[in-house]
Structure 1
Amino acid sequence: MKYLRKILPKTLKSKLRIALFGIGFFPYFLILIYSYNLGEKKILDNTMLTYHNQMTQVKKRVEDQFLSLQKEMRFLASLDIMNDMIVGDVDKRISQLLMQKKKDLGLEMDLFTLTSEKKVISSTAKSLPHDFAYISEFNKILRKNKNYFFTDKSIILFTPINSTLQKNKLLGYLCLEYALSNLDSYTTQANGIRSIFYHFDSSAKIGDVYNNELLLDIKEQNTQYVSDHYLVLHEQFEGIMSEWMIVYMINKSVALIFLDSFILFVWALFALGVIIIALISFWISRRILEPIAKLSDATKSIISTQDYTTQVSISSQGEISELANDFNIMVRETNRAFKILEEENQVRLLRFVQLINIFNGLIQTQTEEACITLAINELQILMPHQHFSFSQEYPKQNEGNESNQYLMLYVKDFEKQTSDFYGVITLGESRPITDPHEEKFYRSIATMIMLQLDQIRLIEQTQAVSHAKSTFISHMSHELRTPLHTILSSTQYLIAYENLTHHQQEMVETMQSSADHLLGMINDILDLVKIESGKVTIDLVQQKSDEIEVLTQHVINMLEVLAEQKEIPITFNNRLTKRMKVTIDIRYFKQILINLLSNAIKFTEYGSIDLTLEKCGESLCLSIQDSGIGISEDDLKNVFDEFSQVKNKSKNTEKGSGLGLPISRKLARLFQADVIIESKGLGYGTKALIKFGSSLVEENDQSI
């Protein structure tokens, strides 16, 4: 270390020269080292990463094409026209449809239909073969529950065709013979790059390769490997092409040609740079050091004395002289800025506090008149020497008044999406406002007034629209109930007193069920309108937990017949160790429980429904746990949205208005309770929880 200190220069000039030379020299040196040692590996890695990404895109396009073809086939198989297979496609409508679809897809392929006996009845081929050439392969694939198989030159895709006239009747199969030559368009044959699709078991390939020997070691290698002359990359397909892989072969000499040119360029630049850097470092060190020393001394003086009147005198010319002059100007401007900043901070702080006070007052106003009056009064308090006034007439500019002596107010017309003139506040200044900060202050006040006026108008319009909507829904619902009752009475009369055939009986019962469903939906809408309009009256009573148990058992007895029809047992368990009291509306509590238990029965096909009365935290909870279809995570977020329904996957039906859960939650919150829905996902059942708002342990507690 001591020997190293003796070698190192002592003066700043020598240190600066060495530092400048080193700064310019070492980047070239490092680039050369990097290029020789790591450049080739880096370029090869980047090349492999680039072509892996390209392989992934090609794989996705191929897989997407097969998915698209399968969707097209399923769509064609579901058309009513496929019923012509029953009569052997006499009118050739199926053949015409298949020919048009082949033309639309623009691929080398053929579409044809097979009967359940594997006879061809329609095809896009020029000649119509009556016997299917791959019956044995077709039957093997059917036993494996697959919908495709490979031949030497094609892929056969097929999908069953079911009759739309007779449920679950198999008419035959729609088949698509996709030529493997279509995949040639996805291969690459560029300079230095080849790509193919390779089937390892059969050694079949699509596309050309540099050397077939490169394919021999693919199974033993990893995802990629580097030979003496080539990079070989491969990835396995998914889906239909899962037995195939995509293989890329890149010529190493093409990939590394840029590196060789770059190294030659760096060597030439390095030689020239060393000479130039040495000369520049010598000159800069001499030019900079002396003036910098003076600037350093002046800076130290300012720091120690806080005297911002200090100036530096430098006789040299050029950038250093300009730097010294700029330093002197900076010191003077800093001194002046400190004084101005102090004054402006005081003014801005005062204005800011004033704006906050005015804003706090404005946001509490509820009418336009109150908003304008409050603004005028607040401005008058802030500036008592002025006289502020409000007018709804547009000011006349030809009277010699300056435009900045007015606060122009505009309000939004939310229906027309325009801004209309509302009025003007006159500042009462005898002189024009020249201070930009004062002008901004007044403009800020005008903006706050306009925002509050817009908010007041928007609230009024929103309230009016909401009232109109509620009134309309209420009137329409009442008007619909009368004809619905007439329909129900008529259907009940027909069922009870008319001698109807079995088919007529079913039709009348369907009419009655639909009318009942519509009447229930109208009642739900009326309940929702009453809740939202605040017209629901509640009768709060305090109930003990054993009384809650009685009410719950009563609801279970009402709905148990629905569960017995589906052979679903309903159990009820009171897990409380001490009696508790809650405050509820009995009628609405029973309505909520009926809604939740009905849902549990509706969406449970087998299993059981368990009701539990228990303590959760400091509150009392009643839970309804079913073993039904459950709710997905996405549906669970929307179960309390109005008119939102959870689809019954087992029956593929949706029944109800979608208002049961929203109404139940709104009714529960009327007596400070809540309804919570939980589910671990589809197939895991659903748990509905009524959580009472306020609970307390009964005086003179007795264990249950």
Structure 2
Amino acid sequence: MTLLKKLMPKTLKSKLRIALFVIGFFPYLFILIYSHNLGEKKILDDAIVTYHSQMNQVRDRIEEQLLSLEKEMRFLASLDMMNDMIVGDVDKRITQLLIQKQKDLALKMHLFTLTLDHKVIASSDENLQHNFIDIDAFHEAIKQKKDYFFTDKNIVMFTPIRSTLDKDQLLGYLFMEYSFSNLSMFTVHDKGIRSMLFNPEDTIKIGNVYEDELLYLSVHRSDYVSDKYLILYEEFEGVLSQWTIVYMIQKSVALAFLDEFILFVWGLFVFGFIVIAIISFWFSKRILEPISKLNNATKSIISTKDYTTQVSIASQGEISELANDFNAMIREINHAFNILEEENKLRLLRFVQLINIFNRLIQTQTEESCIALAIDELQTLMPHQYFSFSSEYPDLEEKTPMTQYMMLYVKDFDKQTSDFYGVISFTQTNQKTDPHEEKFYRSIATMIMLQLDQIRLIAQTQAVSHAKSTFISHMSHELRTPLHTILSSTQYLISYENLTADQQEIIATMESSADHLLGMINDILDLVQIEAGKVTITPVRKTSDEIEMLTQEVITMLDVLAEQKDVKITLTNAMTKPLEVIIDYRFLKQILINLLSNAVKFTDEGSIDFILKMCDESLCIVIQDSGIGIDHDDLTLLFDDFTQAKRKSENHQKGSGLGLAISRKLAHLFNADIILESEGIGQGTRAIVKLRVSS
């Protein structure tokens, strides 16, 4: 026993090392035993069970989806509107039903009805002229008493449609072409795992598996473990009864279940630490009691925030030195916290004062009021000091030690320079300069300069805007008077009988140019009034039927111009139910006249279609023409003032470039909008007016 005490290490570090080594031996012993008994076969068996469970879930989801689609088809076939097949779905009710059902299902599929003489009379795809080409497969399925068959790309399911008046009368069949691509989302293509759905009889495959095992799929249909893969199978029932789902898992991925083994190892280490804790407790009275005192003192300080706590340790050596250092550290922390608390209070007070000054400064409207308010606020904050403002640059050489300056500079936005504006001077009562006080004064000076810049910028902007509006309005009014005189003179000369044909053509050109210039001036005046906020609206509620009447009125007004170019204008009301919108009747009429005029102007042949329909919970008036179209790069620019699209044609139409800009600004006044769309040059243009629906 005496020899053992002599061999026992004297330091805490050495004792803990020996304890950790001895106790760490036992986990390694268990690791050796566990790894000896755990074989690869057990892990692979567990993996097969797990992946089969996943395959069953995938198979059940696919079968549930197909069964649900069959129920949907039987429900659709039983509806009363299916009787419309007798008259060839004249009202398109069946077609609308199939289109809506296809949207609701949100799958890659196609619904259509087939008469007994194999004619498609209703389809969920309005743009598809569907010809039924699988008649032989259809008859073969009926012969085998099946309600489905397969093509290269689809599962085709069908159900009979019988008259609701006479159940014995067969009207035709409802078909659903369910694309195999829908099944792709049920396949897996992850790292180390791939799956596939396939029909060995039709050699139809959905998904991908590893190429080096494809030969095996054509020979076996049961689970198989190769050198590299686990190959698992599950059979389908129902519509896919001849199909099989195949999973190929790399054995390296399957053996990832060895993570369970790693977790077990960590569990052993946790067990080892618990044992170490128990042994440490046995040594605590002799070795760790001083450390426990330090720990308890630390917890007490954290919970009570009492940084005057001191620790008394009777033992000698490293622990005693640690206790003394701990006591010194607590005293320094307590002193630092006191200083920090005082600084935080001062900074918070200064921050609140800065916010109050800033809130009042930004409300000033003139430079004089801004400076006066700043002086008053500073005097209120520091009543023991005297603040004054001077516009003259101070003589810094004669500056007394107690005098401080806040220099103010303002920006000259025309020259892009900063010029001296003035200085706020005050007397410093304390000879010792506080850097925080200096930052406080600099912050106030910055606030004052920013507000002065803002006041000048606002005044300059308002002056420029007013001058622009006054100039445009004055010049437009001044130009209209001589233009009216020119128009009157040219109209008089045109009626004069003694003019030659060339002279009449010259006079007509003068009249056209003057009339075009007068239109541009009127557009500019309208734009100025809108931007100046002088245009007021009269919002009214109008029904969709009244909007249709307004549209027809506009078409009647411009139909003569369209007939001169042999362009046909049509109106279609695609509204499914009446509703109300909020508009300004006069401005909407002007907008429609502008848009239809543009459509007629840029359409040399073809047609212009007006369509009323719902889009994005708004009533949309669509004006579709077959004209020259618009380049994609020009679409975003046409609503800018004085902007026109670049036309390559020789018959380039003249204009001010303000029609669309004015139309959109008018539309925005009553919360409407205008959108332009085009597929490109030569593809026509589509203008859409979106009206806000009344709630």
Normalization by structure 1: what TM-score? 0.49
Higher normalized contact order (CA 8 Å, seq sep 6+, divided by chain length):
1
